[in-house]
Structure 1
Amino acid sequence: MAQAVNDKVKDFKEKCKKEAEHIVLEVFPEKVKELDDLLHSDMFSLKRISSIHHDVNIPVPDPALFNDTEEPTSKKRRIDSEKNHLDISGSLIVGLPNGVSPSNPKICEIIEKLKPSIMELLESSNQVKMWITYLIPRIEDGNNFGVSIQEDTLAEARQVESETATFLDQMTRYFIHRGKLISKVAKYPHVADYRQSIRELDEKEFITLRLVCCELRNQYATLHDIIIKNINKIRIPRSSNVEQLY
């Protein structure tokens, strides 16, 4: 029973090694080319930044006009619509007159385009980590130059994985921040600065996503470069370990 389990673990390790080498030698160069083409496509053209904005679908209401004996229109509206209000920061907000205030579809399109590459790099860097870890020989005195190369490459793969994960967090923070600004526009529709802040945020996100695309390309290229340059030492860190590794 124990031997059967050990054989399965051994087969799993060998499979992981083969898949990781295929990823490094074949997939990484393809992803570098794909992301470089995407970065230079119309989707990420800096000329597009002026048209990246999208209407928040919250009209500016007419100014409330009332005399000293008349109750303010805004107060009447809040009382009449009490059953359909949203409570944000302790203030009542009447439901939006035009319905939903949508996300920026142009930004969403870019995010959906980049997400698969982010997820793929996360998975690939993790697989490369496991591959190198399985190739590290047992601890011995001396002849550790190849092992130090393995450890440096392993550290690079870990850093790539960590930095790539932050891209997903950044996308989430954008939607949260934009939603809060939309809420401000809903509460204070006459304040132009809140509307402008959404435009500025969308422009900033466009530039950030362009940088994300650039970083993804660079991370694929860097990880591929460092492994290819040292692949012999990564595969066989010590000449005395040839029989152990193969």
Structure 2
Amino acid sequence: MLSRRDLQALVTTIASTPTHPLHASQFSRASVIATASLPSSSHDPALPSGKKRKLENGAETHGEVHEGRVKYLERVPENEQVTREMEAIRSHFEELISLVDKVKLWVNLKMPKVEDGDNFGVEVQEQVLSELHRAQEAGYNLLDGLKTYHMNRAKICSKLIKYPNLPDYAEALRRHDEKAFFAIRQNLIRAPKGNNREALY
């Protein structure tokens, strides 16, 4: 697991390197890439169709009238940039959960029995367990957020394939990816100035 000094160095490197994938200038690149094409027709123009269609000028024509709608290909590709960065930080989330679980077990084994009189030590350890539980829940929520991102993106992609003539779905997908990209960067920010962790011991 990265130490605080390593994280600070990583954040500084990201902020000073415009070409880094997590630099703020790269937000615009976290967008959807979707290819559209006109549907191919199996109708042979040499063979007249039995169905007649009336044009706007009143004339009638045989054959198939092309509606002009576009259809996306069979799949919308994933945003490789966002997925790659998510995989990079997922290992840190899993390591956080594992380490906190070990510390919780150690604190539980060291907890004294509750007796009459001064139970200050027990209260302190219970408070520590509460903070550890909160940290572990935060790690689980971060992992769950990765799954939620893919579920929500799949819903938008299904709408995008079903209604390719609505540009709002493509814009919604791009905004969704940008939000996920921003959340990844937020997980690497430095500790706030009010953090007094060094003064605790």
State the TM-score, normalized to the length of structure 1.
0.60
Cα offset for 1:53? 1.4
Q: Cα–Cα, structure 1 residues 210 and 67, in superposed 2: closer, same or farther, change >3 Å?
A: farther
Structure of higher RCO (CA pairs closer than 8 Å, 6+ residues apart): 1
- Aligned ranges 1:68-217 → 2 under 5 Å: 68=54, 73=66, 96-97=72-73, 99-214=74-189
Cα offset for 1:37? 3.4
Distance across 1 between alignment mates of 2:6 and 2:117: 43
**What runs of 5+ residues in structure 2 fail to find an aligned partner?**
15-19, 40-51, 55-60
Structure 1 residue aligned with 2:26: 48
* Aligned counterpart in structure 2 of residue 36 of structure 1, from 2, 8, 11: 8
Percentage of matched positions with identical amino acids: 26
Cα offset for 1:179? 1.2
Cα offset for 1:72? 5.8
Asked whether the equivalents of residues 61 and 189 of structure 1 are also in contact (C-alpha less than 8 Å), the reply is no
Distance across 2 between alignment mates of 1:199 and 1:111: 17
Distance across 2 between alignment mates of 1:213 and 1:165: 17
Where 1:213 maps in the other structure, the secondary structure is coil
Q: Which of 134-143 and 102-111 deviates more?
A: 134-143
Asked whether the equivalents of residues 136 and 147 of structure 1 are also in contact (C-alpha less than 8 Å), the reply is yes
Where 1:189 maps in the other structure, the secondary structure is coil
Cα offset for 1:73? 4.6
Cα offset for 1:121? 0.2
Equivalent pairs counted in the alignment come to 171
Letter in 1 for 2:111: I
Q: Cα–Cα, structure 1 residues 141 and 149, in superposed 2: closer, same or farther, change >3 Å?
A: same
After the TM superposition, list the runs of 4 or more consecutive aligned residues in structure 1 that deviate by more than 4 angstroms: 69-74
Q: Which of 171-180 and 113-122 deviates more?
A: 171-180
> Structure 1, residues 69-128: CA drift from partner, whole Å, max 9, x if none?
666656xxxxxxxxxxxxxxxxxxx8x53x432110000111011001000000011111
Where 1:129 maps in the other structure, the secondary structure is helix
**What runs of 5+ residues in structure 1 fail to find an aligned partner?**
1-26, 75-93, 231-246
Letter in 2 for 1:225: R
Distance across 2 between alignment mates of 1:174 and 1:72: 41
Letter in 2 for 1:229: L
Letter in 1 for 2:110: L
Asked whether the equivalents of residues 82 and 180 of structure 2 are also in contact (C-alpha less than 8 Å), the reply is yes
Distance across 1 between alignment mates of 2:6 and 2:53: 65
Distance across 1 between alignment mates of 2:53 and 2:179: 44
Q: Does 1:229 align with 2:174?
A: no
Bigger proportion of residues as helix: 1
